[in-house]
Amino acid sequence: MARAVRRSAGSPAPRSEDVARVAGVSRKTVSRVLNNEPYVSDAVRQRVLEAAEELGYRLNNAARALASGRTRSIGVVALGTAGYGTAMLLVGIEKAVRDAGYALRMVSTLDGEPDDIARAVDSLLEQGVDGIIVSEPIVEGEVPVRVDVPVLFLGAPPAFVSARTLTVGVGAYELARAATDHLLNLGHTTVHHLAGPGRWYASKDRVEGWRAALSARGAHEPPVIEGDWLPTSGYAAGRELAADSSVTAVFVAGDDMAVGMIHALREAGRSVPEDISVVGFDGNPVFAYVVPALTTVRQPFDAAAREGIRLLVHAIEEPETGLPPAGDPPVELVVRGSTAPPPARKAPIRGRRMASGSSGSAHAPPAGGGPPTTD
């Protein structure tokens, strides 16, 4: 398909009327065929398709949208921070949107303040979209905008005054909990936490998962340290933590920060994982190749995107129906070399245990020796 390079550059683009004339049918019949509507005989359908191909006809979406009131496109408000996670999510969203038969319009916003999000949503609405997906917003406070289309919040509670908002989690709470449990299961008496910026929902979920794991064991809860997702802030936090000899385990809210932290820890003479264990968050495969290979939890980007779009499309196409139930994505803990039992006492006999529902890949302890666990 798309091989018909017929008409010369100068002539105006063919319209459905031209196709109708060539096929010897009415405009409406062309429309029926192009929209896969029933009640068209196969013979006519065939003729129309051939005529369209021959003319190099391409549907005019602006006209279609104007006439039908539907744009067949979905808008995404993405955060400008170009991390591994954000990128993976965006790609997942694009694919899910395309598979659902919609086009993607994208607006990114650096800051994610309510006003920024409002501006982004507004511009999407003006372009024309049938639904909006707001990806991991940093919100506090209500977003001041009027919306008539369904809006999906991915990884955050809704922040709109709208009858048609949806939410899909990205499993951050469960993942944070699994990461912390992993450390506790190794025998650490408590786990420190380097979080993302406090105003991000993505941070909050992880803090809560960590906190829940701690309190379920009655473990002492150390103060949260706050980073900014960048490796530099992990490095800074690592210097701080290295000075506290009671620290034996840290759950870090992002792989990049975790790598920065490990660097600072080792530089300060604390070895990882022998003295201090570190677990990251994201699942970037490259960190299987650093020393020590990073133990982390893998975010289910694709699953979250697919589920979110499924809900959103449902809300667009069948607003009346109740939403079908959603299955939770699996929690995946990837155990590599940056975690071990604490130095003082041995790990409990039962050894390593995966978090509930996990399918993590176990891996013989620390650095060097054999191809790393990459998957």
Partner DNA sequence: GTGAAAGCGCTAACAC
Partner DNA sequence: GTGTTAGCGCTTTCAC
- The binder of its own copies chosen from 131, 234, 360, 366 (CB under 8 A): 234
Distance CA 99, CA 228 (A): 34
Among 15, 27, 45, 95, binds its own copies (CB under 8 A): 95
Residue 41 binds to DNA (criterion: CB under 7 A): yes
* Of the candidate residues 49, 59, 212, 291, the single one contacting DNA (CB under 7 A): 59
DSSP string over 80-118:
S---HHHHHHHHHHHHHHHHTT-EEEEEEESS--HHHHH
DSSP 135-199: ES----S-------S-EEEESS---S--TTEEEE--SHHHHHHHHHHHHHHTT-S--EEEES-TT
Of 224 and 291, CB closest to its own copies: 291
128 close to 148: Cβ distance less than 8 angstroms: no
**Out of 77, 88, 237, 355, the residue judged to bind its own copies by CB under 8 A:** 88
With CB under 7 A, what is the number of residues at the site for DNA?
Answer: 29
User: What does 230 bind: DNA, its own copies, none (CB cut-off 5 to 8 Å by kind)?
Assistant: its own copies
Cα separation, 315 vs 188, whole angstroms:
46
Nearer to its own copies, 184 or 250 (CB): 250
Residue 43 binding its own copies, by CB under 8 A: no
Q: Show the site string, 19-38: x = touches DNA by CB under 7 A, - = not.
A: ------xxxxxxxx-xx---
At residue 285, the 3 state secondary structure works out as helix
Q: Is 249 in the site for DNA (CB under 7 A)?
A: no
Stated as kind and residue range, the H or E segment containing 73 is strand 73-79
The only residue of 40, 49, 106, 212 in contact with its own copies, by rule CB under 8 A:
106
10 Å Cβ neighbour count for 97?
25
Nearest distance, CB of residue 60 and DNA, angstroms: 3
- Contacted entry of DNA, its own copies, none for residue 16, CB cut-off 5 to 8 Å set by kind: DNA
- Residues shown for the chain: 375
Scan residues 277-336 and list those touching its own copies (CB under 8 A). 285-286, 288-291
Binds DNA by CB under 7 A, chosen from 7, 15, 119, 164 = 15
Is 259 near its own copies (CB under 8 A)? yes
Q: Which stretch binds its own copies (CB under 8 A): 36-44, 55-63, 175-183, 327-335?
A: 55-63
Where b means 16+ CB within 10 Å and e means fewer, 149-187 reads bbbbbbbbebbbebebbbebbbbbbbbbbbbbbbbbbbb
Of 79, 305, 109, 123, the closest CA to residue 313 belongs to 305
Q: Is 243 in the site for its own copies (CB under 8 A)?
A: no
Chain centroid to CA 316: 21
Closest to DNA by CB, 16 vs 339, is: 16
Q: Which among its own copies, DNA, none contacts residue 231 (Cβ within 5 to 8 A by kind)?
A: its own copies
Closer to its own copies by CB, 56 or 197: give it.
56
Shortest approach of its own copies to residue 357 CB, angstroms? 25
127 near DNA, judged by CB under 7 A: no
Q: Using CB under 8 A, pick the residue from 31, 230, 274, 363 that binds its own copies.
A: 230
CB atoms within 10 A of CB 94: 17
CA distance 359 to 351: 16
Q: Is residue 64 near DNA by the rule CB under 7 A?
A: yes
Tell me the window of 7-15, 155-163, 237-245, 345-353 that interacts with DNA (CB under 7 A). 7-15
H/E stretch holding 333:
strand 332-334
Residues in the site for DNA, rule: CB under 7 A?
12-13, 15-17, 25-32, 34-35, 39-41, 43-44, 59-60, 63-64, 66-70
